[in-house]
Structure 1
Amino acid sequence: MRKRGVRSVLDVATGTGFHSVRLLEAGFETVSADGSADMLAMAFENGMKHGDHILRVVQADWRWLNRDVHGEYDAIVCLGNSFTHLFSERDRRKALAEFYAMLKHDGILILDQRNYDAMLDRGYSSKHTFYYCGEDVSVEPEFLDEGLCRMRYNFHDNSVYHLNMFPLRKDYTRRLMSEVGFQRVETYGDFQHTYKDEQPDFFVHVAEKEYRMEDAEDAYSSVVSTARSYYNSPDADTFYSAVWGGEDIHIGLYEGDKEPIADASRRTVARMAGKLGLTEESVVLDLGSGFGGSARYLAENHGCRVLALNLSEVENQRARELNAQRGLTDKIEVTDGSFESIPYPDDSVDVIWSQDAFLHSGNRLRVLEEVARVLKKGGQLIFTDPMAADGCPEEVLQPILDRIHLDDMGSPDFYGRNLKRLGFTPVEGDGFEEHRDQLVNHYGRVLEETERQEGEGLGQRVSSDYLTSMKKGLGHWVDGGRAKHLTWGIFHYRR
């Protein structure tokens, strides 16, 4: 909050006053609200007892917060898993809308919740690292399903208490925040930006109200944000660097059944680069640049300048280190960002390049519009993407969509039709060089390599849950390709 310049804070779940007292001690102007008069009386006493703080307390119902509490605030905090006490979606939406209305134009909402996803999907566990510290209380669910979490609290004096809560799933909470108007929602796992979903005890959501006229679209969409969290995770970083091909983490063009993944992946890069006629004067924008293998190939073999835009800060750091080792820092500019809002001027690059990245967007039309904006007149667009085959029944792809947290996929018809509408023309033929069999080859080879490296100790560096999920997902890709529900290939267009 200090970093964001926050001064005034509304603590809407004051309880016995712990957070309000700590906020006052930290120098924030704090108003304390709660639905329970008894809680507020205890909070007031605790304020006096711990530092002679006179709490400004207000009894209020979240659903009518603006009626009971006055003024606007730089920040609202709703902590202690309190939001899960609302059992009606209508009440949850109304409460979030009230929070939104009481924030200043650039205010933030900080709201935490238990990791109910892990509890519902894998059973209850707790590291007790940040929450419920000490030995005087034990906590466990007595009943749990998608509609109710009944927690049992056992205290050292043998007293027992129960609390009923609604088990909010993380993405559901994020979606509600976005739908009531918050412009950007960042989610932390036990206060860490990078985490594996099954590990944190608690999630902390930080929702921004501010609408930035100049750069409002810098905020990651929920789909892109999900991909960003995934590729930032230690499991994904280790897996892709060890198994997928090292520098290149995209589908390869194979010439043999047992060909190394890295060799086939590099052949895709060479095949694409050979179509472009690059010179030392060319400026290439690589969208979804990953570990930067393609950018280094282009800079070393064609002398061109490469702008590498990628959403994963973890991958980008690895790319920068590899660039420096090869003496390419001056040739390659690595930027953290999303291709749904490309941070470069209109008509500024000669070539836009992307490999197997557009599927991670929830708004691929927006991506193509951004490509058309940034690419110079006469410039070239070349990209690959795993896609649904034209005419594929949507329901057959659900296992794959669930795995990569998407609602749908692109298709050759989608890309061809929309690129034509945006003023692009095919460079050769219909602009699409199809290689459906290579999708099957690649995911099959990655599955084989995963199983081989598992036997050599990969499981000691990557979690078993991740590897189990990955192998299942790879199998779905292979099955979808063999059934001709999926396809892949190289698109090449000119603006």
Structure 2
Amino acid sequence: MLGNLFLVRTTSDPQKKTARLYEMYPPDRLVVEDTNYYNLGYWEPGCTKLDEAAQALADQVAETAAFKPDDTVLDVGFGYGDQDFHWIDTYGPSKIIGINITKVHIRIATDRARERGLLDRIDFREGSATAIPLPDNSVDKVVALESAFHFDTRADFFAEAYRVLRPGGVLVTADIIPMEGGKPKDDIRSHAIKWIRIMIDDANWYPRKRYGEIMESKGFEGVEVRTIREAVYEPWREYHVRRLQDPTFKTRSSKLFYKMVAVAHRDQDLLAEELKSLDYVLGVARKPVTP
């Protein structure tokens, strides 16, 4: 794990850096309890577990995109596929295609789809968000659940999403961006979110207004970028405080992983303060029916 961390810090290629980061976190090195979700979650009232919040965030994406039974959905950066299995069960799209650059994600998610008898409806494959391996006008929905900040660049992903969407198709992102006038990215000191300095390129670091402008510049209409940060950051921080005090988490984790999480969340005052500089948004945009 420490060797992978060194490689992440010293790799200049954005795709290799991202793949190496996520190779550090197989399912037994996640903070969730019963699933393999890897996102910050949407913490609805009464929600106490990251598993529930992470699935609620997946619901926010699906409902914003208005998934329908005859949809072909492209999920860009699918992690271990938890949201895709949930979407199939709950919203029933006819087909989900997932692309990812992290081989361990593709392998594990594909094995899980096979075990569930879903290989005819869920297709996990290797592919880049900025060179999507699909024809023009071939999908109804494109979604990126907490992954677009990794893409080199997010603007290029928007252009590719526009290309592969059918006329009238919808793009939805759940994304981490800065607040307008927030603390500079390079000044972040909290270990829990210092990864932002390393993993998010300056080209992808802009606030809500600019986010929408870039979507529009790629040809999208009906663009809306709305913040959901109040339902994300603070409850996510509070969950980690509770999780570190949970003896079952310490028991199921390796000593190294538990120590890494504990060190990352050691200074809660600093983390709470620096989270105020971060926005969390749902971005939605539609490809025009006629050019």
Query: What TM-score range do you get, normalising by the shorter chain?
Result: 0.7 to 0.9
Measured after TM superposition, the shift of residue 293 of structure 1 is: 1.4
Cα displacement (A) at 1:283: 0.5
Q: 1:345 to 1:198 in 2, by over 3 A?
A: same
92, 101, 106: which one aligns with 1:316: 106
1:308 deviates by 0.8
- Contact 1:350–1:379 at 8 Å: present in 2 too? yes
Cα distance in 1, alignment partners of residues 146 and 135 from structure 2: 24
For 1:347, the equivalent position in structure 2 comes to 137
* Aligned match for 1:298, one of 87, 98, 101: 87
Residues 477 and 315 of structure 1: CA distance in aligned 2, closer, same or farther (over 3 Å):
farther
Structure 2 counterparts to residues 232-251 of structure 1, below 5 A? 232-233=23-24, 235=25, 237-240=27-30, 242-243=31-32, 246-251=35-40
* CA-to-aligned-CA distance 1:330-350 (integer Å, 9 cap, x gap): 110001222122111222111
Instruction: Name the SS for the 2:35 alignment partner.
Output: coil
Q: State how far apart, in whole Å, the 2-side matches of 1:378 and 1:329 are.
A: 27
Instruction: Give 1:200-211 correspondences, 5 Å limit.
Output: none
**In structure 2, what is the Cα distance between the partners aligned to 1:311 and 1:258?**
31
2:266 and 2:198 map into 1 onto residues whose CA distance is 12
Partner of 1:432: 225
Asked whether the 8 Å contact 1:348–1:375 carries over to 2, the reply is yes
User: Any idea what the Cα deviations from partners look like across 1:187-230, whole Å, max 9, x if unmatched?
Assistant: xxxxxxxx52459xxx9x9xxxxxxxxxxxxxxx8122111001
Give yes or no for contact 2:29–2:253 (8 Å, CA) kept in 1: no
Q: Which residue of 2 aligns with 1:48?
A: none
CA distance in 2, matches of 1:486, 1:329: 38
The code of the aligned residue for 1:421 comes to S
Q: How does 1:119-138 map to 2 (within 5 A)?
A: none
Over 3 Å counting, the alpha-carbon distance change for 1:423 and 1:475 in structure 2 is farther
Alignment-mate amino acid for residue 132 of structure 2: I
Is the Cα contact below 8 Å between 1:251 and 1:438 reproduced in 2? no
- The structure 1 residue matched to 2:56, chosen from 267, 285, 305, is 267
Change (3 A) 1:474 1:371: farther
Classify 1:478/1:328 alpha carbon distance in 2 versus 1 (closer, same or farther; 3 Å): farther
**Which residue does 1:405 correspond to in 2?**
199
Contact in 1 for aligned 2:28/2:253 (Cα 8 Å): no
Ranges in structure 2 where 5+ consecutive residues have no aligned partner: none
2:250 is equivalent to residue 456 of structure 1: yes
In the TM superposition, what is the alpha-carbon distance from 1:297 to its structure 2 partner?
1.8
The residue number in structure 1 matching 2:211 is 415
Distance 1:354 1:478, change over 3 A: farther
Residue in 1 that maps onto 2:123: 333
Aligned length: 276
* Structure 2 counterparts to residues 74-223 of structure 1, below 5 A: 196-197=4-5, 222-223=13-14
- Is 2:163 aligned against 1:370? no
Which digits, 9 at most, give the CA deviation of each residue in 1:307-344, with x for residues without a partner? 01122211222212222232212110001222122111
**The structure with more radius of gyration:** 1
Secondary structure at 1:252 match in 2: coil
Q: Secondary structure at the match of 2:140?
A: strand
> What residue identity is the alignment partner of 2:13?
S
Deviation at 1:256, TM superposition (A): 3.6
**CA displacement at 1:462 relative to structure 2:** 4.4
Supply the distance in 2 between the matched residues of 1:452 and 1:351 (Cα, whole angstroms). Answer: 40
Quick one: distance in 2 between partners of 1:465 and 1:266? 26
Aligned residues: percent identity? 19
Q: Which amino acid aligns with 1:224?
A: Q
- Cα distance in 2, alignment partners of residues 197 and 251 from structure 1: 21
Q: How does the TM-score come out when normalised to structure 2? A: 0.81
SS of the aligned residue for 1:488 comes to strand
Q: Which has the higher strand share?
A: 1
Residues 142-166 of structure 1, C-alpha deviations (whole Å, 9 max, x = no match): xxxxxxxxxxxxxxxxxxxxxxxxx
CA distance in 2, matches of 1:388, 1:280: 35
Q: Which has the higher helix share?
A: 2
* 8 A Cα contact 1:308 1:334, kept in partner: yes
TM-score, L = length of structure 1: 0.50
- State the AA in 2 paired with 1:366: D
Q: Which digits, 9 at most, give the CA deviation of each residue in 1:206-258, with x for residues without a partner?
A: xxxxxxxxxxxxxxx8122111001112x454222x53762322232213466
Counterpart of 1:492?
Answer: 284
- Whether the 8 Å CA contact 1:425–1:494 is kept in 2: the answer is yes
Q: Secondary structure at the match of 1:456?
A: helix
Higher relative contact order (CA 8 A, sep 6+): 2
Q: Determine helix, strand or coil for the equivalent of 2:232.
A: helix
Q: CA separation in 2, counterparts of 1:402 and 1:303?
A: 34
What is the aligned counterpart of 1:254 among 38, 43, 58? Answer: 43
One-letter amino acid of the structure 2 residue matched with residue 228 of structure 1: A
Contact 1:348–1:374 (Cα < 8 Å) also in 2: yes
Question: What is aligned with 1:18?
Answer: none
The residue identity in structure 2 corresponding to 1:424 is F
1:361 match:
151
Change (3 A) 1:433 1:474: farther
1:23-38 correspondence runs (5 A): none
How far off its partner does 1:417 sit? 0.5
